[in-house]
Chains A and B, each alone.
Chain A
């Protein structure tokens, strides 16, 4: 039984857009070779928002873990590796918008939506 009720509700990217009320967008004003990266980044943000139950990371709070999925980079077997948390440190690309409220949510996001995360990495 999942503790985060949103995980059962968000099964597809469309569910995430519907739950957040965010629009689908067109990144045609971004250089063509960067579009895949930005499109997937946007989807990742919308997805994370939809799963986090309104939670936002507080970077001034050392006691609050902020969870992120990690991936195995393999052309044939790209996939979820583990979830790791930070407290008040962050690295390039790990901003507030892609942090998860708990480990379960980070793992669900990675395993249910690998194409989005792969698109950010490769795009």
Chain B
């Protein structure tokens, strides 16, 4: 007899596209509440974000010069975190009625004092580098990203 083992991260990511029968099995195993948890509560680490999005783990980026690899790794992490918190919703950047929210950080004149400061939102404009991959669909999610994933954003912004 073969046994199927599935951890919480995989169960959550498979649940969305599962058939009603499989959903029932997953709910019996993990409890219905587990799948009703919002992404704000369920995404607490990069591993959670990777599982939520189904993205592969961080590439080694050995295609780019060595001094840029850590920067691209950090950027990939933030892109996946944003995708997970946004529940994979992509932005239409040309839609003037669609707002994109971003976390804002201040280092207070010291690298060690880096921290979340506020969120801001824009519609039909954007700054270099911001784009759709690092935007959030509401200020709540931008704030969660800025606070919960402060270290990942610090890494990306400082490298």
Chain B contacts with A in 52-92, Cβ cutoff 8 A: 55-56, 59-65, 68, 71-72, 75-76, 78-79, 82
- CB distance A22 to B65 under 8 Å? yes
Minimum C-beta distance from B16 to chain A (A): 18
Size of chain A's interface in residues, with CB distance under 8 A?
Answer: 49
Residue in A26, A84, A98 whose CB lies within 8 Å of B129: A98
Question: A88 in the interface, Cβ–Cβ < 8 Å?
Answer: yes
Determine which of A22, A81, A97 lies in contact with B71 in the assembled complex, contact meaning CB atoms within 8 Å.
Answer: A97
Q: How many Å lie between the Cα of A16 and that of B94 in the bound state?
A: 29
Docked complex Cα distance between A29 and B105 (Å)? 30
Whether B130 is near chain A, meaning CB under 8 Å from some CB there, is yes
Is chain A's binding surface mostly helix, strand, loop or mixed? Answer: mixed
Report if A95-B127 is in contact (Cβ < 8 Å); known contacts: A59-B107, A62-B109: no
When chains A and B are docked, how far (Å) is the Cα of A94 from the Cα of B126? 11
Which one of B2-10, B23-31, B33-41, B117-125 contacts A?
B117-125
CB-nearest residue of chain A to B96: A73
Question: Taking the complex as formed, is B14 at the interface, i.e. its CB lies under 8 A from any CB of chain A?
Answer: no
Whether the Cβ atoms of A92 and B93 lie closer than 8 Å is no
In the complex with contacts A94-B128, A95-B156, A88-B134 CB distance below 8 A: no
Q: When each residue 31-58 of chain A gets 1 if its CB lies under 8 Å from chain B and 0 otherwise, what string results?
A: 1001001100110110000000000000
Residues of chain A within 8 A of B125, CB atoms compared: 70-73, 81
CB pair A74–B130 under 8 Å, yes or no, is no
Near B by CB (< 8 A), chain A positions 73-123 give: 73-75, 81, 84, 88-98, 106, 109-110, 117, 120-123
A44 to B71, CA, bound (A): 13
Binding site for A on B (CB under 8 A): 55-56, 59-65, 68, 71-72, 75-76, 78-79, 82, 93-94, 102-111, 117, 120, 124-135, 145, 153, 156-159
Q: Pull 13 A–B residue pairs with CB atoms less than 8 Å apart, ordered by A.
A: A25-B63, A30-B59, A59-B111, A73-B94, A74-B124, A89-B106, A91-B120, A93-B129, A93-B133, A94-B127, A94-B128, A97-B129, A121-B131
